[in-house]
Chain A
Amino acid sequence: MTPESPTLSRRGLFRLAAGAGGLALLAGLAGCAPRSTAPIASGAVDLSFWTHDDAYVKFFTDAVPLAEKASPFAYDIHVTKAGAADIVTKLIAQAVAGTGTPDVVGLEIGAFSRTLRGNIAPELLVDLSDAVAPFGDDLIAARRAPFSKDGKLYALDSDTPMTVYYHRADEFERLGLPGTFETWDDFLAAGEKLAAAEGVSLGAIATSDPGGTVQTFHVHLLQRGADLFDESGRPTIDTPEAVETLTMLSAGVQSGAIATVSDMYGPGMQSGLKSGKILGVNMPSWYSTYGIQPSAPEQAGAWRIAPLPRFASGGGRTGAGGGTGFAALRNKPATEAGVQLITSTYLDKEQQVARYKAMGYLPTLRSVYESQELIALEDEFFGGQRLFEVYRDIIDEAPAVHQSENKPIMDTVLSGHLLRAYRGQVSPAEALADAAHDFRGQARG
């Protein structure tokens, strides 16, 4: 005899499903409940560390003994590596979830600007102003600005990425060029002749992806003494300095003195360097490690660096580009341990020397530029040149970079108008005025 199936009304079934759903929801919410946030004051600490760069993993891992000496913590660092932009996306997602945020996070300068929108930075990141106060003016002010908002410092920069003029000394000698140009006018005059006679360029700028296009303009603009934004994050692109910068770059592109490549790290740039068609480039200090050496290792010994040519009407001999700030997350058990890891490893003079020697990142403490150990360093890729002598010479001219929550908007808006100017479709002044107009539209007021 087959037992009769129990009957169940449709309403009963819905009640059953609703009950099960409710239980599941409660169980889920219980799982999401915030864990204990009792701060760890000393002793062993498991520290979650996020970065986009392998070099930082090695640096912080190696620096643990120093951090343990300078703090009451015994660190066990757990590393998560992700793309620079993905780190901010994931950070925010985990913050919304209420769990899984890191204790220390490395924020690439372009990605950091996203945390300036709304209250993301103040809500998530520790204000490091007090922690760096003892260092006073020795902590280079130009590198505090990019990671500050409303007077609060949310991350410590790992680098002072000054721009220099990288150039092929062997080709310069063959062509009878000087090692440095006094002004950009001199540079353009020599470049125009070379482009016509030899088919080579003295510089290169990116023209394909918006971020790269704006970056190569931005480094020149900073050198001229201007910026994309002011201290309050308001756009400042429709200025005489910006027009002058764009006029110089447009003239260079149109005469062939400056080559255009899709991006500064891509195959086009690599081909240009390898074939000897691009003989120089104005890029930050880290570009040697990430651009020139991987692209043309066979040219070791042929390259040199020099301060940038000046703009005749003002500015310094260097600009700035890039940077990565390290921040500690607020309201976590390991918050204090995170702050102490960052400050003890980043603001220690010996560590700054070690960081430059290992990674090529320039110190952020002004006093380290007097280090005889660094000044005496000779770089084989640059024919034994003492690079630090050049950096020490220009460090006091390093410009501050001001951030804005609207930097990503600026990148996309400005890049198109820069290209119009480079192509000669509009004058530099018109291009920048149009960019300012479009920016206001896209920034929604």
Chain B
Amino acid sequence: MMSTHTELTVLPKNLRRRHGGRNLRGGAAPYLFIAPFYLLYALFMIVPVFAAIVLSTTEWVGIGAPTFIGFDNYLDLARDTSFGGALVNSGIYTLIAVIIVVPVSLLVAQGLNAQGLKFRDAFRVAYFVPMVISPIVIALIFSLILDRDYGLLNASLHALFGLPNVDWLGDPTIAKFAIGFVLLWRTVGYLTIFFLAALQNVPKELYEAAALDGAGRWRTFTTVTLPSIRPVAAFVVVTSFISAAQLFDEPYLLTKGGPGESTLSVAMFIFRAAFERQQFGYAAAAGVVLFAVVFIVSQALNRILGIGRDQ
């Protein structure tokens, strides 16, 4: 920072004027070069955000002129038990993503990073394949596996342990965790790639030093591995939180938010309000609330985990 300042102070006078003056001797070129980004950014990021905020203060069925209703949509959301339930469900999905999926991904990455592991590439592919399979196909496969009466899982549990049939997708409580399991199955491989890249960048000397100091496996993991991969771990936690908070595919395809509304996520709530109930203003209000929650929690996680700060 200091050196830059120094360099600027010794710039020739005419160049200094060029940087600080109103007239731009460089012409329009620099602005034209950066214009596409700002234009697209404004068009596809800023405008939709403001449009959603404006829409959230109206009642609109999708046709005709929207009617301005102030903050009524937000007040209705506060009273809507369905929205409250969706917030709780999305909270559960984010907890599953952050508390279970992320550590499991790290565990898998640790396993794949082990010295002398055979068929390493085959394992990597196997873990990553769920991420590239269409969610529709995943939903079909898991609805076959998890069906209460005719599913593979119940049949296996009954054959092996004589257990009675469990309604994996039909019980309001179990269905949430069934969706959490599918989320785990689908995303672990993807997150593992990040952790694996981070683990491979941990200097071997640190492990050697830890070994010389007599550190065991757990101690090495907590004092060498974790601190070394902290930036990547923080990134994975925040992105996992954001994508889980917006979870739509799994509950929509596996249970349609049911039984009842027990697996309804906020993203599904928004979709339902807009495209099944023609309540676009209400959906926009729910979208604004989701945006606010995700933004605030992400910022909090950023601060807690120190993303972007030096070690």
A and B: partners?
Answer: yes
Given contacts A261-B149, A262-B169, contact A117 B261 (CB under 8 A): no
Please determine whether A208 and B80 come into contact, CB atoms closer than 8 angstroms.
no
Within 8 A of B (CB), among A366-419: 405-406, 408-409, 412-413, 415-417, 419
Within 8 A of A (CB), among B245-289: 255-262, 264, 272, 275-279
Q: Is A7 an interface residue (CB 8 A)?
A: yes
Given contacts A96-B63, A210-B256, contact A13 B28 (CB under 8 A): yes
A149-160 interface code vs B (CB 8 A; 1 in, 0 out):
000000000000
Please determine whether B259 and A213 come into contact, CB atoms closer than 8 angstroms.
yes
How far apart are the CA atoms of A413 and B85 in the complex, in Å?
A: 12
Q: Is A293 an interface residue (CB 8 A)?
A: no
Please determine whether B276 and A114 come into contact, CB atoms closer than 8 angstroms.
yes
Please determine whether B256 and A208 come into contact, CB atoms closer than 8 angstroms.
yes
B136-150 interface code vs A (CB 8 A; 1 in, 0 out):
000010011001111
- Please indicate which of the listed interface residues B147, B149, B172, B264 has the most CB atoms of chain A within 10 Å of its own CB: B149
> How many chain B residues touch A (Cβ–Cβ < 8 Å)?
45
Q: Is A35 an interface residue (CB 8 A)?
A: no
Q: Is B170 an interface residue (CB 8 A)?
A: yes
Q: Is A92 an interface residue (CB 8 A)?
A: yes
Please determine whether B258 and A208 come into contact, CB atoms closer than 8 angstroms.
yes
Within 8 A of A (CB), among B8-62: 22-29, 31, 35, 61-62
Given contacts A118-B278, A210-B256, A268-B149, contact A10 B22 (CB under 8 A): yes
Residue of A93, A208, A267, A420 near B255 (CB, 8 A) is A208
Please determine whether B169 and A92 come into contact, CB atoms closer than 8 angstroms.
no
Q: Is A249 an interface residue (CB 8 A)?
A: no
Please determine whether B259 and A260 come into contact, CB atoms closer than 8 angstroms.
no
Q: Is A259 an interface residue (CB 8 A)?
A: yes
**Could you say which residues of chain B place their CB within 8 Å of the CB of A69?**
none
Please determine whether B63 and A124 come into contact, CB atoms closer than 8 angstroms.
yes
Please determine whether A95 and B260 come into contact, CB atoms closer than 8 angstroms.
no
By beta carbon, the residue of chain B nearest A120 is: B63
Please determine whether B24 and A123 come into contact, CB atoms closer than 8 angstroms.
no
Please determine whether A8 and B35 come into contact, CB atoms closer than 8 angstroms.
no
Given contacts A114-B278, A117-B278, A412-B257, contact A208 B169 (CB under 8 A): yes
Within 8 A of B (CB), among A1-27: 5-10, 13, 16-17
**Could you say which residues of chain A place their CB within 8 Å of the CB of B63?**
92, 95-96, 118-120, 123-124
Q: Is A99 an interface residue (CB 8 A)?
A: no
Q: Is A352 an interface residue (CB 8 A)?
A: no
Q: Is B64 an interface residue (CB 8 A)?
A: yes
Q: Is A174 an interface residue (CB 8 A)?
A: no
Please determine whether B260 and A409 come into contact, CB atoms closer than 8 angstroms.
no
**In the complex, what's the smallest C-beta–C-beta distance from A307 to chain B, in angstroms?**
28
**In the complex, what's the smallest C-beta–C-beta distance from B179 to chain A, in angstroms?**
12
Within 8 A of A (CB), among B127-176: 140, 143-144, 147-151, 169-170, 172
Residue of B64, B76, B257 near A119 (CB, 8 A) is B64
Given contacts A89-B275, A208-B255, contact A416 B64 (CB under 8 A): no
**Could you say which residues of chain A place their CB within 8 Å of the CB of B261?**
210, 412-413, 416
Q: Is B5 an interface residue (CB 8 A)?
A: no
Stretch at the interface among A57-65, A134-142, A189-197, A437-445: A437-445
Q: Which positions in A face B, CB cutoff 8 Å?
A: 5-10, 13, 16-17, 85, 89, 92-93, 95-96, 114, 117-120, 123-124, 207-211, 213, 259-262, 266-268, 271-272, 275, 277, 405-406, 408-409, 412-413, 415-417, 419-420, 438, 441-442, 444
The 3 closest A-B pairs by CB, nearest first: A416-B260, A271-B150, A118-B61
**A-B pairs with beta carbons under 8 Å apart, 8 shown:** A7-B25, A10-B22, A95-B63, A118-B61, A119-B61, A208-B169, A442-B80, A442-B81
